Structures are given as C-alpha cells and as structure tokens.
Amino acid sequence: MRKYVLLGGTVVLAATALFSSLTAEASTPVTFTLTAGALSINAPTASVSLGTQVALATSSTISGSLGAVTVTDQRGGVTTWTASVISTAFTPTAGPADPASNVSYVPGVITSSATVTATGTSASDLTGVSPVVAGSSGGISSASWNPVIAIVVPADYAPGVYAASITHSVA
C-alpha cells in the first residue's frame, strides 16, 4: 500500500504560483456605427380646392387650408432644418393668370414632437422660394402644420377654374 504525504502549505502555494503565471489575456476592440436617417417633407398631393367666389369689379381675396404638411427628421443628434414653399401662377383655362406674387402662406399652429422646436413665418409673395418654418432638434423628431393659402384676385378677372402648384421643400 502506498502512502502519500502532503507537505502542507508549501505545495498549495507552489501550485497557485504556477497557475498564476500561466494566465493570459486578449482584448478585442468592438465598435458599432450609427448612420443618419433622412430629412423629409410630406404635403398633400391631391388637388385642394380653396373654395368658390363670384367674380367682382373690385379686388378680393380667396383663402383656405392646404392640408397637413409634416417634416420628419430622422438624422439623429442635434440638427436644424428649414421648410420652404414656392408657387406657380394660378392659371385659368382662358384669360390672364393670377401671379404667384399674389399668393400668401400662413403656417398656423405647429405641432411638434418633444425633441424639436419649430417656428413659423408667414410669406406674402410665393414667386421665389420662401422659408416658412424653421426647426431645431435634439434627436429624431417631427413637426406638422396646416397652412392657410390666400390669393388676391384682381378686379374683373374672368370666371373659371384657376390652378397652380404649391411646392414644399426642406433642407
């Protein structure tokens, strides 16, 4: 029969030292990438009627709501944007057109997500691109408004349907 004799604490300390000197480490760098989403604007694409009125011997104004316009900013982080608008002339089937200089735009109340501050500015001449809503955001956000479009109708204009295109953009 064999007998084993333990040499006490010396053996345990030697074994611990041996295992400690065999320990190794390896570090792996790890990253991830966030990409910016899109900045977009949506406005009604179907024809909108601003109403009907009788042709007059004096200048008048006809107005109505365009429908909801929404800017969505999915770029993330701190961002700013400006929504702008432009109009073509209101052209009838016969007779002179009502120029875009007679078209005005009032953004009205702006509803926005918690991370965006948006302010509106009225535009009284839509011949050129006019900034109408500016926003600043601290993250993914959106803002919506329902603008009122008003058109000055000059005196003695011919009866008929007058049509134009109002185009929104955001940058």
pLDDT digits (tens, 9 = 90+) for 42-101: 999 999 999 999 999 999 999 999 999 999 999 999 999 999 999 999 999 888 999 999
Q: Phi first, then psi: give them for residue 11, nearest 5 degrees.
A: -65, -45
Closest CA to 164 of 88, 99, 105, 96: 88
**pLDDT tens digits along 25-38:** 999 999 999 888 99
How many degrees, rounded to 5, is the angle at CA 105 between CA 104 and CA 110? 165
List, as own/partner pairs, every contact residues 31-34 make where C-beta atoms lie below 8 angstroms and the sequence separation is at least 24, other chains included: 34/76
- What domains can you pick out in the chain, each with its CATH number? 39-170 (2.60.40)
CA 40 remoteness from chain centre: 5
What percent of the chain is predicted at pLDDT more than 90?
A: 81
Q: Phi first, then psi: give them for residue 3, nearest 5 degrees.
A: -120, 140
**Please, what's the b/e burial string for 105-133 (b: 16 or more CB within 10 A of its CB; e: otherwise)?**
bbbeebebeeebebebeebeebeeebebb
In the structure encoding, which two tokens stand for residue 91, read together? 């052209």
**What pLDDT is attached to residue 79?**
95
Closest CA to 127 of 87, 97, 78, 154: 87
pTM above 0.95, yes or no: no
In the structure encoding, which two tokens stand for residue 150, read together? 């008003």
From residue 70, give the alpha-carbon distance in Å to each of 29, 63, 113, 141, 165.
41, 21, 11, 11, 18
